[in-house]
Structure 1
Amino acid sequence: MEYWKALLFVGLLCMLRECLSECGPGLLNSEGRECIDYNECLQKPCGNNSKCFNTYGSFHCQCMKGFKEVRGRVYFTLGGQCQDINECRDDTDICGHAANCTNLIGSYNCTCQFGYTNATSSPGNCKAVDECKEAEVKNEDLCGEHGTCENRNGSYWCMCSTGYTNYGNYRTTCSKLDCDSFNGNGGPAPSLGGLADILFMMRNSCLALSDPSTAGDGKVLLKKLFTATEDILSPGHLDSSEDVSSLLVTVENAIMLIGPQLKDGRTKTNTAETDIEIAVQRGKTPPTGPIHLTNENATLDTDWTTAAGMGSYRGFALAALLSYKNLEVPVNRSFDRLTGHEKDGVSPSFQISSRVVSVVVSNPSTQNLSSPVNITLRHLQDNVESAQLSYICAYWNESGAWSTDGCYQWQSNATHTVCTCKHLSSFAVLMALYDMEHTFGLQLVTKIGLTISLLCLVLCILTFKFCRSIQGTRTTIHLHLCICLFMADLIFLAGISQTKPVGGCRFVAAMLHYFFLGVFTWMLLEGVQLYRMVVLVFNATMRPLYLFLTGYGTPLLIVVISVIIRPNGYGTDQYCWLSLEHGLIWSFYIPVCFIIILNVFFFIVTVWKLALKFTSLNPDLSKLHKIRAFTVTAIAQMCILGLMWVFGAFLFQEGTTVEAYIFTILNSLQGALVFIMHCLLSKQVRDEYAHFLSRVCTPQKKRYSDFTSTNPSSSQSQGSRSGQHTGESKI
């Protein structure tokens, strides 16, 4: 636009000159007809960032300092268009080697780099600063008590003493190295397979940091750490709470060593077994602001003030969130510290309901934080809210067990639980499972039933031992079955819940294992004897030596092998029985299932043979008597052979309250059923009872004689003849 104005102005002058006078360009005819100069600059013909200079009969434009022309001479003269000169680009050394150049419109600015200062007012005259001397004058300690400040060109380095390091950040204070935490003396024992390699690697890395010329690569070291932990975290390697504690402590110490060596502010690493995010901030002053770390299974919310701590600042602050993907099974025990969670008088059972996570911060005082941290943990399974379960926030303490001290549940739903804790460690959400409402009723039924069963078993033992008319192989089997069942019920009633001390609980579990196996072994012998009596008919007796070796020797052999292979499998935190975690329960399940299958076979064959015999009985015997005799015999066999345990096996999978009561009543009254079926319903035994009572209480003799038989002598003689013929009691 300025160009066209100037051109129009010149044209008008030319027209005026031709019309009024004959003066040249840029001249005007005065009143005296004299040509005088006209100042074209008054019309501002030049563009921005330029100056107009008037000449006789003309003018010209010139760019200001810091600008240059961008058009041809004609246009420049008329329009005066100028462009800024980038001095920083055209002259890279305009500010000197120790300054940074910043371009401005028509000018530039020089700023001295860190460690330099401008000695004069002119740019490009930056000189190095001796920070060490300045700090000494100001009575400041740049490197800490165990560091020496050395001035460098434009900077300074803190040279740390042996045993101290600044993790390669040479302008930070020196921190003490705790390399002893990675040996077998001051730290966790390297008994866990693979842990010794991690300790060796981390100790060497720790010692190398004492050399100021060595700067570790945090990312490489972090990758090596979690590659080494994958083998340890594989199933079957973590067998005890001590192993878990050793691994958790070692990994946390390693993160404290690796974190300050990471170059990036945020680092995320995923492996098949772990998921970690580490945040690091550095500076001369402690950082502030919130911290939010997250992964697929957990979220950490805290702040940098909590992460750095209130003590001496080491030049950096660190926060890390580590999630273990497959650590639930090894730590799904050790709940002995969890007390005070009873509901309506019922103590719950616990199980892990989230991934195990570790929170690591650079704050050395993690046992009493200035403000609590919030940890959100995702549940392993989405559970519908119910009165029979609740979620508890717990941490893994130094003794290798779960504890809730200092942690509480802030809020929870079907998928997540938010835990608020005043200290830091490894955390998880525990699901407290409360048994069905009638747990107290079941316990009462069990105690009453077992008490009745014990009394009945005492009567059975006395009967089978001293009743002469029924002596034989079956009676011997019944006698020792009752002895084993009596001992099992007595130990169960007295010691199943006595989990303390641990040694006593393991002894109770081993005894229960032995005597319950003994019960099933004698049940198997009962089935074998029934089969021989019904099928073989002749030569149905078995030598007592073989019976004792089988009935007591087989369970003893199984228990001894189990104790040698899995001694820690006896006793749990809830009851003194075989642990489900170590696989020892199969030393009971497999023999029991094998015996039950065999006894089912013997039971079917026995009932079938008995059915054939009943059909061939005297036709004068009423049909009702046949059905009654068959039913009584079948129930007796089912009771002795323990077929109700088949019902119990299905109940343990998924049972209702009614089924639980049925199973509890049948098993707790098993001794009473043995007494009823094999004593009270046996005519020979009733006759012996009547004979015994007749001596004690003579007036009742007639009543018992009437109850047992109208012709006692005939029945007894018949029983004697039957015993002499087969050596067994009647079925």
Structure 2
Amino acid sequence: MPKILNNTFTCRDIDECISNPCGANSQCTNRQGSYQCVCDGGYMPKILNNTFTCRDQGDIVAESNCEKIPAECLVDILIDEIHSKEGISETFVPAVLDRVPELLNNISSDASVTTKKKIDYVNSVLQGMEHLLSDVTSANVADVKYYTVNTTLSELQVMIVGPDAKAQLPSVSLQTTCAQLDIDLYGLAKSTGKRQQTSAAILVLKHMEDTIGADYFITRSRRGSTGSDLKTTMMSKVISVSLTPNISLIDPASLTLRHSHEADPLGQMSCVYWNGSAWLVDGCDVTHTNSTHTVCTCEHFSTFSLIMQTERPPERELSLLYVIAESVGIVFLTLTLLTFALCARDLDIGPEVTNVARLNLSISLLLAHLQLLLVQQYIDLIHPQKWLCRVLSGLQNFLLWSGFLWVKMDILLLFISIKALQKTLRAGPSTGHLCVIGYLLPLVLIGDAVVLVPDGYGTEWCGVRTYRGLSWILLGPAYFIFLVSLIILVMVVISLCLVPASKNSIRNKISIQAVRVFSQFVVISCPWVVGSFWAGGSSGLLDIFFLILSSQQGTFLFLIHCLTNPQVLCLWRRQCQNLFALSPKPLHNM
């Protein structure tokens, strides 16, 4: 309104809210050159006879005969009204933006609403907001116009550049409290060779990140993986950016997003957009990031957010069941190793069969389980040292691989002993050759894995990552060796049947050894097979089953080779008698 002050012509803002233009059950907020209407709690905006009103939500639901939960009914009604209206008044926009996020939050917090239905409502709301903004920006503007809405649950800023606008800056900024868009609207207005009206809008629907959170994040590198070693975190509000008309960008737009909480310096930040069912990274790149903000350069406009990936922090305490199980397995592995080390010369296994494979198998498994238990006990001290964590991860993998190969060589030695009985083979590989296979081949396999996937070792548990193909780089050869070992076992059974009857006594001994070798093969192989399906991502009985299979390998080996072997029991009894015989006798009558 015009005003003369000190003989000077000025224009002062009129407070439209004095006349209560929003009507009953609403709140009016005066703005520079305009006003803003929002409905009171429990009321919803409606347009009746081109007049803005706020009606009771319960009455609206009752009149609609809707059988869904009230929040779903109200969202459906409100979105339908947005789509049915043309040229929606700017007065209607703040009321909608104040109510829609609240209704969407009510839907997402209702346990009876399925995840698919929640996503459907998110997409419906986003489409409704796009239609709403297209109506706001369709008004003819000659020069430049800004339109801003701020409510408790939303923020909106719109800039419209008309055909008569003159370029003042190479780019303009649209800014809310949590996002800023930098774009050359003046250049876009002239990009088609003729002057035309263009507009850009940035919309924040607060708390939408609670509905479509980081659980919906998908990247090409992690598809098909369990993702057990990475934690994803939403780092910003959900921001919708639109451009009218929908023309190609001359240069990528810069979108700066404010972090909703402190960023991890070691975390990997991703600019993501919503594709209707998941968060994807296509089309947006992180060009700069610090502790409080991240700048995304985007080639298209959509609904955006920030997601950070970090390694899951290690738990402070290990499960008591895990510690007990591993400790029991280590005790029996130690007893098995002592059996093969101290009683090797006295064990009558059979011709051409030695204890080399079983002795080295016990050493590899004992070191592997001992290292695993100690690393997890002191993970808080080890994990910050990234290089140490990776070295221990590789060492753990090396020991398990070595144990698996020694099982295969034990089967091979058994097969060679049978062929020696049939006089089709004179001698098997030497101990040196066996050690080369048992220890050098795992180093080669792990070296290949490090070259192909450099960051594959050193997870939050100082283990091996289960994505980016690393699991198959290691499991592929394991399954191949498993298959070869199985074939050799079948050949062992067939060869035993062909041993001459004159050598029944020796054949019986080797048959017993064949049963033990087969049992040993099952004990060592089962954790590999089950682990490929488990990968840390399941729970319940399968967790316990995997724990028993992996931690009690030493217990099973002790049962197979020692407790069920009368010869070993006799040797241990003799060793104990010799030990007690050497102990000093008590002195009496002194």
TM range (shorter): 0.3 to 0.5
In our comparison, the structure showing a higher alpha carbon Rg is 1
Give the TM-score, by structure 2 length.
0.47
Q: Which has the higher contact order (CA 8 A, sep 6+)?
A: 2
Normalising by structure 1, we get a TM-score of 0.39
